[in-house]
Structure 1
């Protein structure tokens, strides 16, 4: 074999070895990415299941339909189904449930198939949970249930991470105005936390009813827990209301 042929053979072997190495590296990268995705999915699903396991809200006393003391409702009280959702504005699973059911529940309520009551309270015992729920009460009193429901929806659309940082009361005022509240009617009360006494009462009422976790869903007066994930829970709930 000539020197030139030997050099070409060595070059070909090196190129082949390099290609094998590159394929192995791509395969490792793909496996690593897939592993990370699976870990994230396991954390999300596992977190919900752990939260569900800790939740002992299996025997909750249903509030009187349409009582309106601690929440806001959509739909007709005479609808064939009633859904009550106990929630904390910071609870990430409440946020996921809201995303999965918001439009569908509104449509079903408009069609007269369900009466839905959202009952926020301070389960997580954070400043944001208390401030957001208190602001909700201020908006409800000052601007009525339609604006309060829009404010409720905006809080979930812009929900902060559970670990923080949390928006301040000025941000809550801005969201209230975005929902349709008059700034002059809500700004001072939201900033001063006027609604916090109501939040304490709402939280006590939820606790007295037997609520120990969020979201806690009552379907026609009974706790609804049909689902291993939030999406399963949402889909199964909606299926019951068709």
Structure 2
């Protein structure tokens, strides 16, 4: 082989090597470009998800319908005009709440009549898990809110306790809640609110407020800002409750 042939082959080999090196450089650039694009998409996706989650929370918050007659930051329904404020936090599936209602309810009603107290009833839903997935605490509390808007809170409050389902059962159906409403004079707007679950998201909000105030059980009875309990955190007797009101009266 002549020197000229060897030089030509050597030059061709160098070109092939250079072409291979160039191809390898392009491959690496393509890989890192793809990685960069994917990273950007992942970051953008994360930001997008965060924005979407934030928007969903805002949407949920905007969908809370606060009953027009609610007091105490939109969490309760006031009965009476007396100088002493009694806050009652209750879950309509709670048997102890019903016990307190049967035991001390008549005394409270008389205090309202005598204009000694203003009672603020706070429906909360801490026993939803005790109704086989039907969320009875939320549904009954939402129905009570609808009754309050239509001017029949006390009547509906009482009929709910008179027909209280057992804790751990599925609770009353919406149809039964509406039937009970009709029995105390509630009409079409109440029925619509129950069927549309107008105040169910509100029940979630007021239950969160209940927890944020440091409470975790029902019934919770508060007289002029002071929680009232019996010995060893038991349900207060009517006598203990009356003493708390008298002390608040000065």
User: Do the structures match in fold with TM over 0.5?
Assistant: yes
2:138 is equivalent to residue 130 of structure 1: yes
Could you give the per-residue CA deviations for residues 81-100 of structure 1, whole angstroms, max 9, x where no partner exists? 22101111101100100111
Deviation at 1:169, TM superposition (A): 0.3
Deviation at 1:226, TM superposition (A): 2.7
Deviation at 1:68, TM superposition (A): 6.6
2:120 is equivalent to residue 112 of structure 1: no
Task: Give the structure 2 partner of residue 69 of structure 1.
Answer: 74
Could you give the per-residue CA deviations for residues 26-79 of structure 1, whole angstroms, max 9, x where no partner exists? xxxxxxxxxxxxxxxxxxxxxxxxxxxxxxxxxxxxxxxx53722222221xx3
Deviation at 1:125, TM superposition (A): 2.3
Task: Give the structure 2 partner of residue 81 of structure 1.
Answer: 84
**Which consecutive aligned stretches of 4+ in structure 1 deviate over 4 angstroms post-superposition?**
none
Structure 2 SS opposite 1:153: helix
Task: Give the structure 1 partner of residue 6 of structure 2.
Answer: none
Quick one: distance in 2 between partners of 1:149 and 1:177?
Answer: 14
Contact 2:107 / 2:238 at 8 angstroms: preserved in 1? no
Contact 1:93 / 1:215 at 8 angstroms: preserved in 2? yes
Deviation at 1:227, TM superposition (A): 4.1
Quick one: distance in 2 between partners of 1:139 and 1:90?
Answer: 17
Task: Give the structure 2 partner of residue 178 of structure 1.
Answer: 183
Deviation at 1:211, TM superposition (A): 1.3
Task: State the number of aligned residues.
Answer: 171
Task: Give the structure 2 partner of residue 95 of structure 1.
Answer: 98
**TM-score, reference length from structure 2:** 0.63
Distance 1:97 1:235, change over 3 A: same
Quick one: distance in 2 between partners of 1:118 and 1:189?
Answer: 20
Deviation at 1:134, TM superposition (A): 1.0
Higher-Rg member (1/2): 2
Contact 2:159 / 2:180 at 8 angstroms: preserved in 1? yes
Question: 1:201-212, aligned counterparts within 5 Å?
Answer: 201-212=205-216
Deviation at 1:237, TM superposition (A): 0.2
Contact 1:148 / 1:179 at 8 angstroms: preserved in 2? no
CA RMSD of aligned residues (A): 1.9
Quick one: distance in 1 between partners of 2:145 and 2:87?
Answer: 17
**TM-score, reference length from structure 1:** 0.65
Structure 1 segments unaligned to the other structure (5+ residues): 1-65
Contact 1:74 / 1:106 at 8 angstroms: preserved in 2? no
The structure, 1 or 2, with the larger RCO (C-alpha pairs under 8 Å, 6+ apart) is 1
Structure 2 segments unaligned to the other structure (5+ residues): 1-70, 130-134
